[in-house]
């Protein structure tokens, strides 16, 4: 078959179930194809076979194909090598299909991709690290009911561009945007609904945090704010986060936390990380932290252990904490087994977060020059 010099091929609004096998092998100059509004059910590498000039010679890629529109079909599966021959692919529209999962290998060869539409797919989870490390930012048009989104950077390689202007994600439960070093982080947060349980804003520019910025996130379990230039927390900053389990404020510029900075409504907080700040006093902080645990009122006394690192006032701290607890809960038999242990002076090992759906090791943080301070319950 002779070559044809078609550059644009439009076949929308037909009844194709598959893209005709090897149809583009004889179109070496093809740059744009449109199979939208058909009945396609899958895409694999045979859909985009490279041009063949004779029986022995084959180009390694379709040299000029940069735009594909396969929206409004029934595509549920993308084979790993579906787009491997399309090294210059820039725009890919897969919106309004039935895609539930995207494999990590699907876009590994597409180093020129700039825009991807996944709107109106039943996709629940997307990791932006499906893109090649050689790719810069990619504008991804996401389905509104996505539940898990990892837009974190790996080794300073960031792919996330922005949310669409009209987008809102009411069902999103886990959002990781760590490492992006963005200054518009609260603009992005306004797009999120109240169902968010894990929020990682580490290595972005937050600087100052108020309770109004977090008031929508009443279901938060894990909040990570390390390396965010955080310098100030006002009273009741976490007023609405009564379900917090993990709170990471490490490696910031906090110099003081007053008694109202941590919510007294905390019932479930297990991990508090303040490593690498500029704190000079911990008395009020730890006393407030302990007294916020209302579960002391149970008939099964809890053992609470505090460790401070290289703090010469540990005995005074222990006395202050015992006084605070006595004042808060009374001194009776229900609480006689509460133990305050501030006598072990050592450098504790870093906290290991409880398992979540997000990867805690996506980027490497610089070592701390400050003395670590941890508080946890056992």
Asked if residue 159 is part of any domain, the answer here is no
Q: Find tokens 């929206």 and name the residue.
A: 71
254 and 122 in a common domain: no
pLDDT score, position 281: 62
CATH number at residue 184: 3.80.10
**Which range among 43-57, 112-126, 350-364 shows the weakest confidence by mean pLDDT?**
350-364
User: Residue 151 domain-assigned?
Assistant: no
199 lies in the same domain as 100: no
Do the beta carbons of residue 284 and residue 260 sit within 8 Å? Answer: no
**Final residue belonging to a domain, choices 129, 146, 163:** 146
**Domain range for 110:** 1-146
Asked if residue 154 belongs to a domain, the reply is no
Do 114 and 36 belong to one domain? Answer: yes
pTM of the predicted protein model: 0.75
Could you read off the pLDDT of 326-361 as tens digits, one per residue?
555 454 434 344 443 433 322 233 333 333 233 333
Does 156 map to a domain?
no
**Band of pLDDT at residue 3, cut at 50, 70 and 90:** low
Same domain, 111 and 178: no
Flag the least confident range among 76-85, 188-197, 246-255, 269-278: 269-278
Q: Are residues 101 and 178 in the same domain?
A: no
Q: Residue 165 domain-assigned?
A: no
Q: Are residues 321 and 366 in the same domain?
A: yes
In a domain, 38, yes or no: yes
- Residue 375 confidence (pLDDT) above 70: no
User: Which CATH number covers residue 83?
Assistant: 3.80.10.10
Q: 74 with 128, same domain?
A: yes
The whole-angstrom separation of Cα 233 and Cα 194 is: 22
Last residue of a domain, one of 97, 129, 146: 146
pLDDT at 156: 79
Residues 2 and 123 in one domain: yes
Last residue of a domain, one of 146, 164, 189: 146
* Within-domain flag for 152: no
Mark whether 226 and 367 lie in a shared domain: yes
| 214 in any annotated domain | yes
Is residue 282 located within the same domain as residue 185?
A: yes
**Stretch 155-179: mean pLDDT, rounded?**
93
Res. 25: pLDDT tops 60: yes
pLDDT for 139 equals 96
Number of domains in the chain: 2
pLDDT tops 50 at residue 31: yes
Q: How confident is the model at residue 141 (pLDDT cuts 50, 70, 90)?
A: very high
């Amino acid at each position: 078959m002779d070559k044809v010099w078609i550059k644009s091929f439009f076949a929308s609004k037909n009844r194709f179930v598959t893209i005709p096998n090897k149809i583009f092998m004889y179109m070496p100059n093809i740059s744009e194809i449109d199979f939208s509004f058909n009945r396609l059910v899958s895409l694999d590498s045979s859909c985009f076979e490279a041009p063949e000039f004779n029986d022995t010679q084959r180009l390694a890629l379709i040299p000029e194909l940069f735009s594909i529109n396969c929206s409004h079909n029934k595509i549920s599966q993308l084979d790993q090598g579906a787009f491997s021959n399309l090294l210059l692919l820039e725009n890919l529209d897969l919106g309004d299909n039935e895609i539930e999962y995207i494999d990590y290998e699907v876009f590994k060869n597409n180093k020129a991709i700039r825009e991807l539409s996944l709107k109106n797919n039943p996709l629940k989870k997307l990791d932006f690290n499906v893109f090649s490390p050689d790719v810069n930012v990619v504008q991804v048009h996401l389905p509104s009911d996505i539940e898990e989104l990892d837009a974190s950077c790996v080794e300073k390689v960031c792919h996330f561009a922005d949310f669409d202007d009209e987008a809102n994600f009411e069902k999103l439960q886990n959002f990781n945007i760590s490492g992006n070093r963005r200054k518009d982080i609260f603009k992005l947060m306004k797009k999120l609904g109240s169902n968010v349980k894990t929020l990682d804003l580490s290595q972005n520019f937050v600087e100052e945090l108020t309770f109004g910025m977090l008031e929508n996130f009443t279901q938060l379990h894990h909040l990570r704010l390390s390396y965010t230039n955080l310098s100030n927390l006002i009273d009741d900053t976490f007023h609405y986060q009564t379900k917090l389990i993990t709170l990471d404020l490490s490696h910031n510029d906090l110099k003081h936390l007053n008694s109202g900075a941590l919510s007294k409504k905390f019932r479930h907080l297990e991990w508090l990380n303040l490593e690498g700040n500029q704190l000079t006093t911990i008395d009020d902080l730890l006393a407030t932290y302990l007294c916020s645990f209302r579960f002391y009122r149970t008939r099964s006394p809890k053992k609470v252990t505090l460790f401070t690192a290289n703090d010469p006032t540990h005995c005074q701290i222990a006395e202050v904490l015992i006084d605070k607890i006595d004042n808060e809960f009374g001194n009776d038999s229900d609480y006689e087994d509460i133990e305050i242990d501030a006598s072990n002076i050592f450098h504790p090992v870093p906290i290991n977060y409880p398992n979540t759906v997000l990867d805690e090791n996506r980027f490497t943080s610089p070592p701390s020059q400050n003395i670590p301070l941890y508080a946890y319950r056992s």
